[in-house]
């Protein structure tokens, strides 16, 4: 069964997303530096409006300890790997909105429920089901939003990536659960949602 995430599915109180102007500026500087026809204004408006609708509290680019990780979605922020600014726009848009999809999920299911994967509070069977539910839906949303940008002429439709998580075997997904998502479960079990967010953020960001 395919789960479709609709932006109108969950009623949001749209507030200002911290750092959104700087986040948008970094993308404009990367992809529109030689543009003189003003298309970047439509791009910026679509990007900012789409992110704000999710209720995302904060968004930023940052250097990650692991370049194989594209982004991190927490209940109070989204972080995108700086490395992705060196990829094509279609992939970056897909990756951004994959993480933004998780913002809708945090508000639908609650941070406590979403963090169970990190805290190791689910059986292997339930953890696998939860990961598929979250990531398949986020992939579909990321692809759908990338198509929206493509239809505006910012890149070609055929440059949009396919669903990444649907290419993984169950054994691959269990490896992600055991060795990435819940590897610090013993340190997270007694922490509040805010403390979990801070721990996960600090564990993935490269500190100078």
Token pair listed for 148? 């929206």
pLDDT tens digits for range 131-188: 999 999 999 999 999 999 999 999 999 999 999 999 999 999 999 999 999 999 999 9
pLDDT tens digits for range 10-42: 444 445 799 999 999 999 999 987 654 557 889
Token pair listed for 20? 């959104």
Compute φ and ψ for 116, nearest 5 degrees. Answer: -60, -30
Write down the pTM of the prediction: 0.90
Which helix (H) or strand (E) segment is 29 a member of?
helix 20-31
Q: Are 177 and 131 in contact (CB under 8 A)?
A: yes
For residue 9, give the DSSP letter. Answer: T
Q: Which residues pair with 59 in a beta bridge?
A: 78
């Amino acid at each position: 069964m395919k789960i479709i995430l609709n932006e109108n599915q969950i009623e949001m109180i749209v507030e200002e997303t911290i750092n959104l102007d700087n986040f948008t500026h970094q993308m404009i500087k990367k992809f529109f530096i030689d543009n003189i026809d003003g298309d970047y204004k439509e791009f910026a408006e679509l990007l900012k409006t789409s992110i704000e609708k999710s209720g995302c509290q904060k968004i930023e680019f940052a250097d990650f300890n692991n370049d194989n990780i594209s982004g991190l979605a927490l209940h109070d922020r989204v972080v995108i790997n700086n490395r992705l600014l060196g990829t094509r726009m279609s992939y970056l848009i897909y990756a951004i909105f994959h993480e933004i999809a998780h913002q809708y999920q945090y508000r639908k299911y609650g941070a406590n429920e979403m963090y169970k994967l990190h805290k190791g509070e689910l059986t292997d069977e339930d953890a696998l089901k939860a990961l598929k539910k979250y990531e398949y839906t986020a992939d579909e949303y990321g692809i759908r939003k990338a198509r929206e940008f493509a239809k505006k002429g910012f890149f070609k439709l055929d440059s949009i990536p396919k669903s990444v998580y649907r290419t993984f075997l169950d054994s691959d997904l269990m490896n992600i659960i055991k060795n990435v998502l819940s590897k610090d479960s013993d340190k997270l079990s007694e922490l509040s949602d805010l403390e979990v967010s801070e721990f996960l953020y600090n564990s993935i960001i490269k500190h100078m």
